[in-house]
């Protein structure tokens, strides 16, 4: 609600889409959650970085004023048609015209087990 | 103990109340923990943000001086009667008149498994 | 190595010692890890905060120059004889005369499951 | 992409290489992920700190411009031939000539269970 609340850029260095496990009744995935507490819609651009090729940059997103949005990275239709390969290292950059708060998480269900993972981040 | 210790606003973008598992002997839940190291009681207001409706704002809380408090989000009586639906995306904003340190965590027991989750945050 | 590296105060709002599980071959616990990259020994004081009683303050610790130290919270002999009760909410404050980097983690093995938990933190 | 994006030094106080579990089909490990969103290759130096011996310092790494890199700590050939012992406490310091964003994570598969762990950090 304040002009100082949130940050314009969020960097998440550790993404790796888990392989779905057909025997699990919870669905392995990675997702980006963005909170916009301001009174203006946020125009956001996502960029994906890789180990051995150029980044895919500036996929547009909108997060409305006073809303949170969950974006599934394993659902190409939610990220402008981009298809991220399973089990490869990638990183995520989020840039917004209004200040936001973002988090990025993984739910892994490999091997009949289940685990959440929270990557470190930098924002500015 | 210092005037610089803690922050007045804490933002947690990723809440999603897990569905209780009747076969688990640990109880799935989400909770907000607030530490007040100052010598003054903290007057706090919680706000909940959603994907498709207006936020529920300014639920009052008090955390006494030199105490920690654990607030269960799945217990409506601990958050002013607000009932957060299970399995939907929400986000949490915490504002305090004295500087505090907050954390927000989930314990998920879906599918005969158990996992803790820590969301990223922003504070200022 | 730099005068700006690390912080003097670290606050961890979410501690709760897990109950040991005799059937697990990994040991449930909580621990504080402190990294001192400086060339001076760090004189540290730990304080424990609770929900319904006054804090236990200023338990002394030393972390030598250019060393990391792991302090088990479930081992009273490592924290000045203080015995923290299992399954109650507490919080931890770490103050050091030289700048350090600290982290606090839990390993829970309840219910034949295993999970790590990372609390949020504030430092200054 | 900006001059303010990322940090030059990252400190991770809690490393402990998990013992591999031959019965698990996911591989226990620890890894450091480094994101370089700048247009210059990053010249990086890794240092490892221990509880009872001097640090191993300044292992060189390069992360190319606009790339992410995953470095396995349990693979000596990826960290200049250094062999970190299993199940001992260590800490990690990352210094870079260009600003980067780093994260450090553990995947533990002890006891037929699976858990991710995220250490706290300091950067400057």
DSSP conformation letters of B24-90: -SS--EEEEEEEE-SSSPEEEEEEEEESSSPPEEEEEEEE-TTEEEEEETT-GGGTTT--PPTT--E
Which of C51, C115, C120 is nearest residue B68 as measured by Cβ atoms? C51
Ranges of chain D with pLDDT below 70:
1-2, 24-25, 110-114
Which chains touch C (3+ CB pairs under 8 A)? B, D
Ranges of chain B with pLDDT below 50:
none
Contacts B35 to C, Cβ<8 Å: 11, 13, 49, 91, 93
Give φ, ψ of A7 to 5 degrees: -140, 155
**Top-confidence residue, A19 or B59:** B59
**Top-confidence residue, B53 or A26:** B53
- Bridging pattern class, strands D29-36 and B42-50: unpaired
Question: What whole-number distance in Å separates Cα of residue A124 and Cα of residue D41?
Answer: 21
Q: What's the pLDDT score for residue A2?
A: 67
Strands (E), A1-124: 7-15, 29-36, 42-50, 56-63, 67-72, 90-108, 115-118, 122-123
pLDDT in tens, C30-76: 999 999 999 999 999 999 999 999 999 999 999 999 999 999 999 99
Contacts B2 to C, Cβ<8 Å: 9, 124
End-to-end Cα, chain C, rounded Å = 18
CA torsion angle C22 C27 C32 C35 (round to 10): 170
The contacts of residue C55 (CB under 8 Å, 6+ apart) are B66, C47, C48, C49, C93
Tokens 């969950």 label which residue? A70
- Asked if B108 contacts B115 with a C-beta cutoff of 8 angstroms, the reply is yes
**Top-confidence residue, C119 or D16:** D16
- Asked if C124 contacts B1 with a C-beta cutoff of 8 angstroms, the reply is no
Question: What whole-number distance in Å separates Cα of residue C101 and Cα of residue C60?
Answer: 17
**Percentage, residues of chain C above pLDDT 90:** 67
Reduced to 3 states (helix: H, G, I; strand: E, B; else coil), residue D39 is coil
The contacts of residue A60 (CB under 8 Å, 6+ apart) are A43, A44, A45, A80
Interface of C with B (CB under 8 A): 9, 11-14, 49-52, 54-55, 89-91, 93, 106, 108, 110-111, 113-122, 124
What's the whole-number mean pLDDT along residues C26-30?
81
In the predicted structure, residue A63 carries a pLDDT above the cut 90: yes
- Asked if D59 contacts D79 with a C-beta cutoff of 8 angstroms, the reply is yes
Nearest C-alpha in A relative to D121: A120
pLDDT band at C112 (very low <50, low <70, confident <90, very high): low
**Top-confidence residue, A104 or D119:** A104
Structure-token pair, residue B18: 């897990």
Tokens 């760090």 label which residue? C42
Alpha-carbon Rg of chain B, whole angstroms?
Answer: 15
Contact D119 C121 (CB under 8 A): no
Q: What's the pLDDT score for residue C29?
A: 85
Q: What's the pLDDT score for residue C21?
A: 73
Contacts C66 to D, Cβ<8 Å: 49, 54-55
The DSSP output letter for D114 is: -
Is 0.80 surpassed by the pTM of this model?
A: yes
Burial class of residue A85, CB neighbours in 10 A (0-12, 13-18, 19+): exposed
Question: What whole-number distance in Å separates Cα of residue B102 and Cα of residue C24?
Answer: 31
Q: What's the pLDDT score for residue B75?
A: 95
Question: What whole-number distance in Å separates Cα of residue C37 and Cα of residue C14?
Answer: 26
In the predicted structure, residue A105 carries a pLDDT above the cut 90: no
Closest CA to D55 of D64, D41, D45: D45
Question: What whole-number distance in Å separates Cα of residue B92 and Cα of residue C121?
Answer: 16
State chain A's mean pLDDT as an integer: 89
In the predicted structure, residue A19 carries a pLDDT above the cut 90: no
The contacts of residue D22 (CB under 8 Å, 6+ apart) are none
């Amino acid at each position: 609600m304040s002009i100082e609340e949130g940050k314009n850029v969020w960097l998440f260095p550790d993404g790796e889409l888990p392989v779905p496990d057909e025997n699990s009744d919870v669905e392995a995935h990675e997702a980006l959650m963005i909170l916009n507490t301001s009174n203006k819609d946020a125009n956001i651009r996502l960029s994906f970085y890789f180990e051995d090729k150029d980044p895919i940059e500036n996929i547009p997103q909108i997060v409305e004023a006073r809303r949170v949005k969950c974006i599934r990275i394993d659902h190409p239709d939610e990220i402008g048609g981009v298809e991220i390969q399973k089990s490869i290292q990638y990183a995520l950059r989020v840039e917004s015209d209004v200040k936001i708060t973002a988090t990025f998480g993984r739910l892994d269900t490999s091997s009949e087990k289940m685990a959440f993972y929270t990557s470190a981040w930098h924002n500015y």
